């Protein structure tokens, strides 16, 4: 009897037995054995590169293991492609959705459904939709075009699609990475309902909060191997974090800052969208030297527009921006960079790096005008290479190979590269958007520490994040945005979840009323 | 799924050779189908292309056009624009060169040749400017606009050659022959003056210019800030904007430089070989440049090699249809087409297998 069988007396829904998988020199999964109890939610947690996705993809038939076997309901199975896994009752919701965006919900549901006729497929899809709407309150308009749906609904369509194919075992890969807190809560409610129906959920994530909130058991992977499987109830975030990174995480330093003069002053900044909607409404704020000002808010409440307008990427519809007393409202992005604005963008893959270029060339992005990187005609490539190599050493970017394609680094290492590039310019003002989105714990700690160090060195930092813990841990002052406006200012001590939540929801909560 | 990384010699050497072999295999079937001996036909083709100094001269002469036309596609491609307008840009380049030569019939070569060079480049670039400007400011699709500009160029040039520039008292729509001072020196007489005898061909000094242009494009794209900005804008518009790169500028710059390079086809054809402006002189080189650029992976070295192959096929094919009357011009085009199909469109035919071996 294996050591995992003690978790349940029933035949487990899924058993991984000695799964081993290598990609060239990378040993992605090392002799992994674990079982998922039927009707449970099982968390799979680990840092980026720990082998979570590989294991999930093996279960879904994308990858085949080099050694080991998978048992579904006790039967050894071998999937050579996802279709076989789907036929065996396995469904997967990917981090990046696999939907045809120009199709309607219904069309996406019947895609690859295998019915004999279109009419039959449609009828059965509509039946599924009706049943799910009734049982789980999963109402989705079947005629809505996917591209027009918010992210949370798209994810719901993915789940519906898996259920429509008869998934008994549902794999979710980093499902909350793109969701607002409210959407995430909705997802959790749904997962609990699915569990109550006897379905099994494998939740792949690197967020401890989710693990604690919803899973029954959790398996921690580190460097491709299982370092422990525990009952969630009897564990703690601290214990799991330690298992994940192999040591105790150190809390970020929180010393009081001694702010200097105002670096950034914004008056009544306004941004209007292409459709005439006001996206940023008369925002006024200031950031001082040696200060981190955090902007809290649910994603999509004007934070991105604020960052864009300050970085010179969006043309403001009104208002005034001054940097160190100089009016920069009319300057473009390049000119603003020249005056000492650094910018860690919210979406590094979209804005912050060029995936197909080498790390060296991504390291030059936005800094290609700097005299130190240029000769009269040619770029000083040797010096750029030397500089980026230095960053890789100082920021512990792995693998330390500046010639490697930017896309082939893990999320945390990509983010560190972007951070190095923007921080090492010694900016007077650093604009920071979601600095730790999709980044593993080790890198989060590192980036937080660097932000605080930069603050202590006298930089003014404007931090936008949807992670309230991050805002609280780093900010000297907290501004809350809702509906395109700045609706309140709090000190980190005043910023309880409840106070922040009320402000973020656009409720009239006077700052400080709750602080006892 | 991302492509696995192959060793450079496999990616740029072995893989193209395998596809070329497959293309020749398919061509053999076509030749068999018309009842000819594939071996004899293909060796005639090869012999015509590289069998003697005259054949090599012609091959390099054609290759010169393909290099310019290929670069004209590749450079804008790196900036995110698909330039289909090489044909029209080359045509206008010819106009620029011809106007200089006709305006300065008595000037000496050191004045007229540099001016004609500049005019060819500038007219080609100018013809690309309008589509580039439309893309930069109105987001017009350059594939459409550059195609349309080919048609406009062809109509404009027909009008000019029939009504304005035509040599007096002549019925063929072409200009007078330029003064000899405006002829770009050809290689055969040049080498003969040094005592080296080679067979006759129109190969001229634009060939070394094409090599320099290839080097220049490489230098621009991979060694300068402007090239970096062009490539960054081509790969990720959002990131480019974030990095303070003006998309309008990189679009216009890369398309105009591409147009200028296409204009240099006139250097070889008008100044180097014909010595006058003929109706329809670009003869499809501008379009072939698309295939050359694709086959050469938009890299100057690859383009140079692809241009050599295209030049050899062009010259060898002419020889083949001449020597073996049963192999008609159309069959030659089929062979050329198969090579382009295999090397350009089916370049990943052997990739999976090669990846399994080398990656």
- Tell if the CB–CB gap between B236 and A379 is shorter than 8 Å: no
Residue partners of B174: CB distance under 8 A and separation at least 6: B161, B166, B167, B276, B277, B278, B279
Closest chain A residue by Cα to residue B243: A366
B136 pLDDT above the threshold of 90: yes
Residue B334 CA: distances (Å) to CA of B33, B308, B311, B328: 12, 19, 16, 10
Tell me if B229 is assigned to some domain: yes
Domain that holds residue B159: 37-325
Tell me if B65 is assigned to some domain: yes
Closest chain A residue by Cα to residue B356: A24
B259 pLDDT above the threshold of 90: yes
Q: What digits encode the pLDDT tens for the residues B36-55? A: 899 999 999 999 999 999 99
Tell me if B354 is assigned to some domain: no
User: How many CB atoms neighbour CB B165 within 10 A?
Assistant: 19
Report residue B250: phi and psi, to 5°: -65, -35
Are B270 and B98 contacting, i.e. CB atoms less than 8 angstroms apart?
Answer: yes
Q: Which two tokens stand for residue B182?
A: 């405006």
Q: What is the DSSP letter of B161?
A: I
Q: Is B225 on the interface with A (CB under 8 A)?
A: yes
Mean pLDDT (whole number) for B237-254: 95
Report how many domains make up chain B: 1
Q: What digits encode the pLDDT tens for the residues A239-290? A: 888 888 777 766 555 666 677 889 999 999 999 987 788 899 999 999 999 9
B344 pLDDT above the threshold of 70: no
Assign A250 to helix, strand or coil: coil
In this prediction, residue A512 has a pLDDT band, given cuts at 50, 70 and 90, of very low
Enumerate the β-bridge partners of residue A21: A29
Residue of B1, B239, B297, B356 to mutate, interface with A, max A Cβ within 10 Å: B239
Nearest in space to A171 (alpha carbons), one of A54, A8, A7, A48: A54
The residue among A418 and A506 whose pLDDT is bigger is A418
Q: Which residues of B touch A308 (CB under 8 A)?
A: none
Tell me if B7 is assigned to some domain: no
Residue partners of A244: CB distance under 8 A and separation at least 6: A45, A46, A47, A50, A206, A220, A222, A227, A441
Residue B340 CA: distances (Å) to CA of A169, B214, B307: 49, 21, 11
- Portion of chain A with pLDDT greater than 90, in percent: 54
The helix or strand, by DSSP H or E, that contains position A34, with its residue range, turns out to be strand A26-36
- Over the Cα atoms of chain B, what is R_g? 21
Report residue A464: phi and psi, to 5°: -105, 125
Mean pLDDT (whole number) for B276-284: 92
Closest chain A residue by Cα to residue B358: A24
- Bridge-based pairing of strands A429-433 and A460-464 is parallel
- Bridge-based pairing of strands A90-93 and A326-327 is unpaired
Mean pLDDT (whole number) for B286-314: 92
Tell me if B349 is assigned to some domain: no
Residue A367 pLDDT: 95
Nearest in space to A201 (alpha carbons), one of A17, A44, A80, A68: A44
Q: What is the mean pLDDT of chain A?
A: 88
The residue among A84 and A254 whose pLDDT is bigger is A84
In this prediction, residue B294 has a pLDDT band, given cuts at 50, 70 and 90, of confident
Least confident of A144-158, A482-496, B110-124: A144-158
Please state, in angstroms and rounded to a whole number, the distance separating the CA atoms of residues B150 and B142: 12
Enumerate the β-bridge partners of residue A285: A266
A438 pLDDT above the threshold of 50: yes
Tell me if B238 is assigned to some domain: yes
Return the top range by mean pLDDT from A73-87, A104-118, B110-124. Answer: B110-124
Least confident of A49-63, A95-109, A373-387, B330-344: B330-344
Q: Which residues of A touch B232 (CB under 8 A)?
A: 354, 357, 361, 365
- Portion of chain B with pLDDT greater than 70, in percent: 97
3-state class percentages of chain A: helix first, strand second, coil last, to nearest 5: 35, 25, 40
Q: Is B170 on the interface with A (CB under 8 A)?
A: no
Nearest in space to A297 (alpha carbons), one of A311, A276, A280: A280
Residue A252 pLDDT: 56
In this prediction, residue A137 has a pLDDT band, given cuts at 50, 70 and 90, of confident
Residue of B218, B225, B241, B242 to mutate, interface with A, max A Cβ within 10 Å: B242
Nearest in space to B97 (alpha carbons), one of B213, B283, B215, B260: B260
In this prediction, residue B359 has a pLDDT band, given cuts at 50, 70 and 90, of low
Return the top range by mean pLDDT from A109-113, A189-193, A471-475, B225-229. Answer: B225-229
User: How many CB atoms neighbour CB B277 within 10 A?
Assistant: 28
Q: What is the DSSP letter of A500?
A: H
The whole-angstrom distance between A160's CA and the closest CA on chain B is: 26
Are B256 and A396 contacting, i.e. CB atoms less than 8 angstroms apart?
Answer: no
**A381 burial type by CB count under 10 A (0-12 exposed, 13-18 middle, 19+ buried):** middle
Residue A6 pLDDT: 47
Least confident of B5-9, B29-33, B78-82, B185-189: B5-9
Q: What digits encode the pLDDT tens for the residues A403-417? A: 999 998 888 899 999
In this prediction, residue A153 has a pLDDT band, given cuts at 50, 70 and 90, of confident
Q: Which residues of A touch B7 (CB under 8 A)?
A: none
Residue A3 pLDDT: 47
A59 pLDDT above the threshold of 80: yes
Closest chain B residue by Cα to residue A23: B359
Residue A290 pLDDT: 93
Are A64 and A428 contacting, i.e. CB atoms less than 8 angstroms apart?
Answer: no
In this prediction, residue A509 has a pLDDT band, given cuts at 50, 70 and 90, of very low
Q: For CA atoms B348, B350, B353, B354, give the dihedral sign.
A: negative
Mean pLDDT (whole number) for A5-13: 67
A515 pLDDT above the threshold of 90: no
pTM value > 0.90:
no
Residue A254 pLDDT: 60
Residue among B225, B238, B244 minimizing CB distance to A379: B225
Q: What digits encode the pLDDT tens for the residues A347-357? A: 998 999 999 99
- Tell if the CB–CB gap between A333 and B235 is shorter than 8 Å: no
Q: What is the mean pLDDT of chain B?
A: 91
Residue B112 pLDDT: 94
The whole-angstrom distance between A508's CA and the closest CA on chain B is: 36
Q: Which residues of A touch B241 (CB under 8 A)?
A: 313, 333, 351
Name the one residue in this structure whose structure tokens are 């290598």. Answer: A22
Nearest in space to A137 (alpha carbons), one of A121, A160, A154: A160
Q: Which two tokens stand for residue A37?
A: 């109890």
Could you tell me which residues of chain A have a Cβ less than 8 Å from any Cβ in chain B?
Answer: 311, 313, 332-334, 337, 343, 345, 350-357, 361, 364-369, 374, 377-379, 381, 407-408
The number of helix segments (H) and strand segments (E) in chain B equals 17, 0
Residue B358 pLDDT: 76
SS (H, E, C) A394-437: HCCCCCCCCCCEHHHCCHHHHHHHHHHHHHCCCCCEEEEECCCC
In this prediction, residue B117 has a pLDDT band, given cuts at 50, 70 and 90, of very high
Residue B256 pLDDT: 98
The residue among A171 and A98 whose pLDDT is bigger is A171
Please state, in angstroms and rounded to a whole number, the distance separating the CA atoms of residues B207 and B257: 19
A139 pLDDT above the threshold of 90: no
A511 pLDDT above the threshold of 50: no
B2 pLDDT above the threshold of 50: no
A462 pLDDT above the threshold of 90: yes
Mean pLDDT (whole number) for A389-394: 96
Residue of A26, A96, A340, A366 to mutate, interface with B, max B Cβ within 10 Å: A366
Residue among B2, B244, B246 minimizing CB distance to A366: B244
Assign A22 to helix, strand or coil: strand
Mean pLDDT (whole number) for A484-507: 84
Tell me if B225 is assigned to some domain: yes
A170 pLDDT above the threshold of 90: yes
Residue A510 pLDDT: 46
Mean pLDDT (whole number) for B244-248: 94
In this prediction, residue B3 has a pLDDT band, given cuts at 50, 70 and 90, of low
Residue partners of B180: CB distance under 8 A and separation at least 6: none
Nearest in space to A312 (alpha carbons), one of B136, B243, B252, B234: B243
In this prediction, residue A171 has a pLDDT band, given cuts at 50, 70 and 90, of very high
Please state, in angstroms and rounded to a whole number, the distance separating the CA atoms of residues A457 and A290: 7
Q: Residue A223: left (phi > 0), alpha (psi -120 to 50), or beta? A: left
- Work out the angle at residue A63's Cα, subtended by the Cα atoms of residues A57 and A64, and round it to the nearest 5 degrees: 125
Mean pLDDT (whole number) for A181-204: 89
The whole-angstrom distance between B114's CA and the closest CA on chain A is: 23
Chain B segment 273-312 residues within 8 A of A by beta carbon are none
Q: What digits encode the pLDDT tens for the residues A305-332? A: 999 999 999 999 999 999 999 999 999 9
Q: Which residues of B touch A307 (CB under 8 A)?
A: none
Tell me if B286 is assigned to some domain: yes
In this prediction, residue A155 has a pLDDT band, given cuts at 50, 70 and 90, of confident
Residue among B224, B232, B240 minimizing CB distance to A377: B224
Mean pLDDT (whole number) for B265-275: 96
Q: Is B4 on the interface with A (CB under 8 A)?
A: no
Q: Is B193 on the interface with A (CB under 8 A)?
A: no
A402 pLDDT above the threshold of 70: yes
Mean pLDDT (whole number) for B270-298: 92
In this prediction, residue A508 has a pLDDT band, given cuts at 50, 70 and 90, of low
């Amino acid at each position: 009897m294996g050591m995992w069988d003690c978790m349940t007396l029933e035949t487990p829904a899924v058993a991984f037995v000695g799964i081993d998988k290598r990609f060239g020199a990378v040993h992605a999964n090392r002799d992994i054995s674990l079982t998922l109890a039927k009707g449970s939610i099982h968390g799979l947690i680990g840092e980026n590169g720990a082998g979570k996705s590989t294991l999930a993809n093996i279960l879904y038939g994308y990858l085949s293991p080099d050694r080991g076997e998978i048992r579904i309901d006790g039967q050894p199975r071998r999937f050579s492609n996802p279709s076989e896994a789907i036929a065996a009752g396995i469904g997967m919701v990917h981090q990046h959705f696999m939907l045809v965006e120009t199709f309607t919900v219904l069309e996406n549901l019947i895609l690859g459904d295998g019915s004999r006729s279109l009419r039959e497929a449609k009828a059965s899809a509509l039946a599924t939709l009706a049943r799910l709407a009734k049982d789980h309150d999963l109402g989705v308009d079947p005629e809505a075009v996917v591209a027009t749906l918010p992210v949370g609904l798209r994810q719901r369509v993915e789940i519906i699609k898996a259920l429509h194919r008869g998934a008994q075992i549902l794999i979710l890969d980093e499902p909350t990475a793109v969701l607002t807190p409210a959407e995430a809560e909705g997802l959790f409610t749904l997962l609990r309902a699915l569990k109550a129906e006897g379905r099994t959920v494998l939740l792949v994530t690197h967020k401890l909060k989710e693990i604690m909130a919803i899973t029954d058991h959790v398996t921690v992977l580190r460097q491709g191997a299982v370092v422990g499987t525990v009952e969630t109830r009897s564990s703690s975030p601290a214990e799991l974090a330690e298992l994940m990174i192999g040591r105790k995480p150190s809390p970020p330093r929180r010393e009081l800052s001694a702010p200097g003069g105002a670096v950034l002053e914004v008056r009544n900044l306004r941004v209007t969208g292409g459709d005439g909607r006001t996206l940023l409404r008369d925002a006024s704020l200031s950031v001082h030297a040696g200060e981190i000002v955090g902007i809290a808010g649910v994603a999509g409440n004007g934070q991105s527009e604020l960052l864009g307008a300050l970085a010179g990427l969006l043309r403001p519809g009104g208002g005034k921006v001054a940097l160190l007393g100089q009016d920069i409202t009319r300057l473009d992005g390049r000119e603003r960079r020249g005056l000492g604005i650094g910018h860690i963008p919210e979406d590094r893959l979209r804005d912050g790096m060029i995936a197909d270029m080498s790390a060296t060339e991504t390291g030059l992005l936005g800094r290609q005008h700097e005299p130190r990187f240029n000769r009269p005609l040619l770029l000083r490539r040797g010096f750029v290479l030397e500089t980026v190599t230095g960053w890789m050493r100082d920021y512990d970017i792995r693998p330390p190979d500046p010639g490697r394609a930017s896309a082939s680094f893990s999320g945390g290492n990509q983010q560190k590269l972007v951070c190095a590039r923007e921080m090492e310019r010694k900016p007077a003002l650093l604009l920071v958007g979601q600095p730790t989105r999709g980044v593993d714990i080790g890198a989060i700690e590192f980036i937080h520490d660097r932000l605080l160090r930069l603050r202590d060195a006298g930089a003014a930092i404007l931090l936008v994040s949807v992670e309230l813990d991050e805002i609280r841990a780093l900010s000297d002052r907290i501004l809350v945005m809702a509906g395109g406006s700045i609706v309140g200012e709090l000190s980190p001590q005043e910023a309880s979840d409840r106070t922040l939540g009320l402000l973020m929801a656009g409720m009239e909560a006077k700052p400080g009323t709750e602080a006892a | 799924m991302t492509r696995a990384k192959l060793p450079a010699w496999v990616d740029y050497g072995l893989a193209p050779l395998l596809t070329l072999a497959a293309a020749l295999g398919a061509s053999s079937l076509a030749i068999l189908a018309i009842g000819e001996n594939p071996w004899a036909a293909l060796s005639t083709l090869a012999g015509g292309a590289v069998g003697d100094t005259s054949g090599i001269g012609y091959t390099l002469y054609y290759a010169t056009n393909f290099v310019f036309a290929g670069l004209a596609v590749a450079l804008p491609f790196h900036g995110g624009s698909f330039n289909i307008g090489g044909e029209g840009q080359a045509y206008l380049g010819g106009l620029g060169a011809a106007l200089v030569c006709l305006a300065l019939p008595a000037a000496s070569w050191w004045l007229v040749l540099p001016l004609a060079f500049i005019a060819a480049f500038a007219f080609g670039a100018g013809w690309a400017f309008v589509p580039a400007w439309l893309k930069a400011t109105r987001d017009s699709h350059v594939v459409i606009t550059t195609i349309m500009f080919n048609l406009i160029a062809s109509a404009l040039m027909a009008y000019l050659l029939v009504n304005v520039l035509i040599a007096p008292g002549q019925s063929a729509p072409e200009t007078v022959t330029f003064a000899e001072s405006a002829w770009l020196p050809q290689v055969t007489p040049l080498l003969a003056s040094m005592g080296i005898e080679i067979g006759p061909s129109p190969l001229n000094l634009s060939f070394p210019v094409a090599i320099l242009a290839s080097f220049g494009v490489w230098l621009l794209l991979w060694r300068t800030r402007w090239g970096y900005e062009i490539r960054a804008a081509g790969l990720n518009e959002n990131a480019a904007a974030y990095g303070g790169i003006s998309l309008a500028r990189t679009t216009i710059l890369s398309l105009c430089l591409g147009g200028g390079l296409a204009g240099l086809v006139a250097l070889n054809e008008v100044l180097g070989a014909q010595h006058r402006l003929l109706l329809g002189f670009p003869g499809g080189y501008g379009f072939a440049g698309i295939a050359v650029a694709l086959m050469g992976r938009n890299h100057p070295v690859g383009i140079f090699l692809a241009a050599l192959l295209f030049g050899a096929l062009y010259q060898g094919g002419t020889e083949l249809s001449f020597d073996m009357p049963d192999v008609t011009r159309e069959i030659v085009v089929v062979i050329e087409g198969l090579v382009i199909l295999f090397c350009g469109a089916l370049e990943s035919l052997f990739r999976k297998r090669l990846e399994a071996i080398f990656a």
